[in-house]
Structure 1
Amino acid sequence: MTLRCRCLTFALLLVACASQALAQSRWTPEKATTWRQQTGWLVGANFGPAYAINQLEMWQADTFDLAAIDRELGWAEDLGMNSMRVFLHHLLWEQDKEGLLKRMDQLLEVAEKHKIRIMFVLFDSVWDPNPKLGKQREPKQGLHNSGWVQSPGAQDLINRERHRLLEEYTKGVIARFKDDPRVVVWDLWNEPDNHNENSYGRNGLKQEPPGKMQITEELLRKTFEWARSVNPTQPLTSGLWVKNRALAPERMIPIERIQIEQSDIISFHSYGNQAEMKQWVAAMKQYKRPLSCTEYMARPMGSTFDPILADLKAEGVDVYNWGFVQGKTNTIYPWDSWKKPYAAEPPKWFHDIFRTDGTPYDVKEVEYIRSVTKGATK
């Protein structure tokens, strides 16, 4: 090889390395602000169709119901919603990656018809730590989220040989849709620091693996790296949810610091009342990036559409309430149902907006939502 060829090869290598480093860097605040200006205000719900008890039943080939999804997203469009937060699962990729990608594309096509953009969630540390493919169990009477499953589950979390699957899933899913305008945000990990002490732990099912937080911390950092290596045009995020740490940064644990330091846009969950939501927004503004409240709305706790939805719109904060249609997730029941399951419909629904036939739980509430979202879908 001539000296000139060696110099040219070295120069090309430097360019390639620089391009890779640029692709793997967090968005600047200016780039995030430009994204917000182009995207506009996002308003919607955490969407699980009524037919599915969890992510697996929603997406597996033998239970995936595009007609039901189409019908329910039509109700969302009628409410003026323009986005939905939708959960995936890594076992779906292992089971049938081409089938999963095809069904994701079908959902996106239907969502686009209803002027709805999708925020996909890749991993989730909440509820059942032992997910299994195939037929999912039936809901337990009066029990909130009796069948929702974690991704990765306990065994795939602690078995490092399985982490290669998590990497392939992350890169593969994002690469397929990284330039797709129908996908608006990638939420990489839902509540990664959740111990589930209020559900399975207190019911004698102590199945959370030892060292969960340490392994999750390691994987969360890697997940951001894997996602960035694909260079998606959409922002990456993972949301804070523990108020006493989020509102006092000096108390944050390492997982939360990764979430803040690596997210292109800042997301958070708040199921508190209007005053608490205002505290969250004020605290999150210090990071000088677009904000997204990816979970809220628990009626008995004072987290209600009126007035919180209008407050967040005025602040320019994207907002997704938990739950949309009453269904197998049983999220009309409160979290305390894990201590004592309900024998009948609760006097006040915890989450969700519509009954299974599309009639509103509260007509006045729906009218209020429409009054706030007016003009959000264009």
Structure 2
Amino acid sequence: MKRLSFLVLLLISTLAVAQPTGTPTGLPRWSAAKANAWYAKEPFLVGANYAPANAINELEMFQAESFDPATIDKELALAESIGMNTMRVFLHDLLWQDPQGFTKRLDQFLGICAKHKIRPMLVLFDSCWDPYPKLGKQREPVPGIHNSGWVQSPGADALSDVSQYPRLEAYVKGVVGAFKNDKRILAWDTWNEPDNCNDNNYGKNEKKVELENARKVAIITNLLPQVFQWCRVAGATQPLTSGPWILWDGHDWSNPAKWTPMEKVQFENSDIITFHQYSTADALTKLVPVLQQMGRPVICTEYMARGVDSKFQTHLPIAKKAKIGMINWGFVAGKTQTFLPWDSWQKPYVNGREPSIWFHEVFKQDNTPYDPAETAAIKQATGK
């Protein structure tokens, strides 16, 4: 019954969302041969999901009033010092209300990355955390809670309003078109965790302000193929991707017949295969050949959560042997507070209390390593 209701919602959503006028269809994704030739020239890719410590979200990172090149330069120097050569960085559709200013700041950011021999993967859309983003001064972190100020792109209002889709199309084509030939960019991640319904923070188990789960997933399942097309129409010369993010018992990515509708969109439109893996080294070992059998380059774009036994020392050697790029969550502890675990939404770390083991992050706010053994493992993996 749940499957039937999802398919009905998906059909309704498909009929309701108008195809953007003048957008060609059927533009091909890269062939496997082209993707593998591209990847053969890349080093072992190691990096982090990055926002500067003084930014609570992607808006604060890139808005004119809070963009901080000096902090970014200092922190990316740390990344260079341990051999990191990529970063995964989130953008936001609302930033395109100032196309010229945002383009200038993004170009400046890419210049800082290049200075430190880092080629970032840029994320266009994101389904995680607060569904009601707003421009302007961002709120301060809620004490003791993981990612208390991160915002979705597009927000729930834009997802629900087809009249805003031309604005989303203009953003994607504008930002991709501006940097379509820029060799400083590693790849475009079209949509982070598109079917994440945030059940334990803004969704049904906590704040209950999210769109209803099936409705949100149906809308994005229909919209995501268009986002891939917008990128291709804009002329992106860098590879495109969107990575499935969760496995559960009995679910098998090796069998296309068992893919969810969203996974089918992601796997069949991506030039390179990306995925998230917050689990054990043994689970990673089993997953690698499943993804590699698709015949394309594979990059893990989120991992490393100490509380669920996902660690640098255990995961990087497995990945290096298989040449699976590895991008962990978090870099310098700061306003995102992602050194706190996911369940801090239910059990906040108040009165200065910290978890006995940090969840994410590589460096403390004073720019010293959280665990020198970890940075040593990263250096060993990167040959630094």
1:228 corresponds to which of 206, 227, 232: 232
Rounded Cα–Cα distance in structure 1 between residues aligned with 2:252 and 2:301: 15
Instruction: Tell whether 2:304 aligns with 1:302.
Output: no
Give the alignment of 1:74-153 within 5 angstroms.
74-94=77-97, 96-153=98-155
Out of 369, 372, 378, the residue aligned to residue 369 of structure 1 is 378
Tell me which residue corresponds to 1:341.
348
C-alpha displacement of 1:200: 1.7
Quick check: 1:81–1:116 contact (8 Å CA) kept in 2?
Answer: yes
Partners of 1:371 and 1:144 in 2: how far apart?
30
Q: Structure 2: 5+ residue runs without aligned partners?
A: 1-23
Asked if 1 retains the 8 angstrom alpha-carbon contact of 2:204 and 2:210, the reply is no
Q: Is the 8 A contact 1:53 1:147 kept in 2?
A: yes
Under a length normalisation based on structure 2, what TM-score does the superposition of the two structures give? 0.90
**Quick one: which of 328, 331, 347 aligns to 2:335?**
328
CA deviation vs aligned residue, 1:305-358 (integer Å, no higher than 9, x gap): 012011101101111000000000000000010111012121100000101121
Name the count of aligned residue pairs: 354
Confirm or deny: 8 A CA contact 1:88 1:123 kept in the other structure: yes
Among 43, 60, 63, the alignment partner of 1:60 is: 63
Whole-Å Cα distance in 2 between the matches of residues 240 and 163 of structure 1? Answer: 23
Following the alignment from structure 1 to structure 2, what is the Cα–Cα distance between the partners of residues 79 and 338?
Answer: 32
Report the alpha carbon displacement of residue 246 of structure 1 after superposing the two structures with TM.
5.2
Does residue 279 of structure 1 match 2:286?
yes
Aligned residue identity for 1:361 = Y
- Aligned with residue 30 of structure 1, among 23, 29, 33: 33
Q: 1:217 aligns with which of 218, 221, 227?
A: 221
Indicate the residue corresponding to 1:253 in structure 2.
Answer: 260
Specify which structure has the higher proportion of helix. 1
CA shift for structure 1 position 203: 5.5
Is the 8 Å Cα contact of residues 240 and 246 (structure 1) preserved in structure 2?
no
In structure 2, C-alpha distance between the alignment counterparts of 1:320 and 1:311, rounded to whole Å = 14
Q: Deviations over 1:37-89 (max 9, x none)?
A: 12232110000110000011111000000000000000000010000000000
Cα distance in 2 for partners of 1:159, 1:306 equals 45
Q: Distance in 1 between matches of 2:259 and 2:197?
A: 16
Which residue of structure 2 lines up, in the alignment, with residue 194 of structure 1? 196
Partner residue, 1:14: none
Q: CA RMSD in A?
A: 1.3
Q: Which residue pairs with 2:12 in the alignment? A: none
In 1, the alpha carbon distance for the partners of 2:359 and 2:206 equals 24
User: 2:49 is matched with which residue: 23, 46, 51?
Assistant: 46
Once residues 359 and 101 of structure 2 are traced to their aligned partners in structure 1, the CA distance between those partners, rounded to angstroms, is 34
Q: Is the 8 A contact 2:48 2:330 kept in 1?
A: yes
- Cα shift at 1:204: 4.1
Where 1:292 maps in the other structure, the secondary structure is strand
Question: What is the percentage of aligned positions where both structures have the same residue?
Answer: 51
Query: How far, CA to CA, are the matches of 1:356 and 1:249 in structure 2?
Result: 44
In the alignment, which residue of structure 2 is the partner of 1:160? 162
Alpha-carbon distance between aligned partners in 2 of 1:98 and 1:139, rounded to the nearest angstrom: 29
Q: Secondary structure at the match of 1:39?
A: coil
Q: Distance in 2 between matches of 1:88 and 1:374?
A: 30
Work out the CA distance in 1 between the residues paired with 2:25 and 2:35. 18
Specify the code of the residue in structure 2 equivalent to 1:47. Y
TM-aligned CA deviation for residue 231 of structure 1: 2.4
Once the two structures are superposed, the pairs formed by residues 162-177 of structure 1 within 5 Å of their partners are: 162-177=164-179
Q: What is the rounded CA distance, in whole Å, between the counterparts of 1:130 and 1:38 in structure 2? A: 40
Is 1:351 aligned to 2:353, yes or no? no
> Structure 1 residues 131, 263: CA separation in 2 closer, same or farther (over 3 Å shift)?
same
2:245 alignment counterpart: 241
Tell me how far apart the structure 2 counterparts of residues 54 and 128 of structure 1 sit (CA, whole Å). 10
The one-letter amino acid of 1:229's match is: V
Change (3 A) 1:180 1:239: same
